[in-house]
Amino acid sequence: MTVSHHGARHVAIIMDGNGRWAKKRLLPRLAGHKAGVEAVRNIVRAAGDLGIEAMTLYAFSSENWKRPEEEVSDLMGLMKRFILSDLDEFAANDVKLKVIGNWRALAPDVVALIDNAIERTAGNKRTTLAVALNYGAQDELVRAATAAAAAGEITVEAIEANLDTADMPPLDLLIRTSGEVRLSNFLLWQSAYAELYFTDKLWPDFKPADLKAALDQFARRDRRYGGL
């Protein structure tokens, strides 16, 4: 395993710009989403080589249901194909799959596929790939606080222990592509002291070299966690 020089253990990405990528090329939105899946493959492969222990990708937010029905259906179909086609590659690259968000509310066939993929990759150790599906950070915080209250006390530690990412390293770096500069209800608690990195590149154009550039910039930043 490659030892990281940048110090980032957990990197999250808001993968934005598939639709604009397709529009620029006069292609249907689905073509942008397909190109986005290819970018995911390349970035996940690179993550292990760059010494990243955990990566969380914002694949489908709880707000994405507002999109046209046909696009939502296309996205779900793409996700199913991605899981089926990449399971062997996850095994070959020692990638452990994790899914965060209210994903059990998805269609039963999707839930069954995800359950199988999680089970098959459970023993992998090089990189954890967390995919945020039907995810919203405010919903996650309500669930975590409810669980903490049920256990007896709402504290910072109790909420952290009940977050979807509780078994992952703290978030170090959050990247957003396509020039938008907002969090869009993604990892709000986890981002409290994470470094933020925004790039104008559309997600399908985001390459391993761009990930390395973000990590290099992260390595040069001085993280003070509220101190001097």
Dig out the tokens for 60 from the structure: 């489908």
Would you mind telling me the total number of residues written for the chain in this entry? 228
- Residue from 18, 42, 49, 64 carrying the catalytic annotation: 64
Q: Ramachandran region of residue 174, left (φ > 0), alpha (ψ -120 to 50) or beta? A: beta
**Annotation says 64 is catalytic:** yes
Question: Pairing between strand 54-61 and 127-135?
Answer: parallel
C-alpha triplet 78, 132, 153: angle, nearest 5°: 155
DSSP 171: P
What 3-state class would DSSP assign to 13? strand
Distance between CA atoms of residues 53 and 55, nearest Å: 7
Dig out the tokens for 180 from the structure: 């938008």
Specify the DSSP element, H or E, that contains 145. helix 137-151
**Annotation says 18 is catalytic:** no
DSSP 192: G
Q: How many helices (H) and strands (E) does the chain have?
A: 7, 6
Catalytic residues: 16, 64
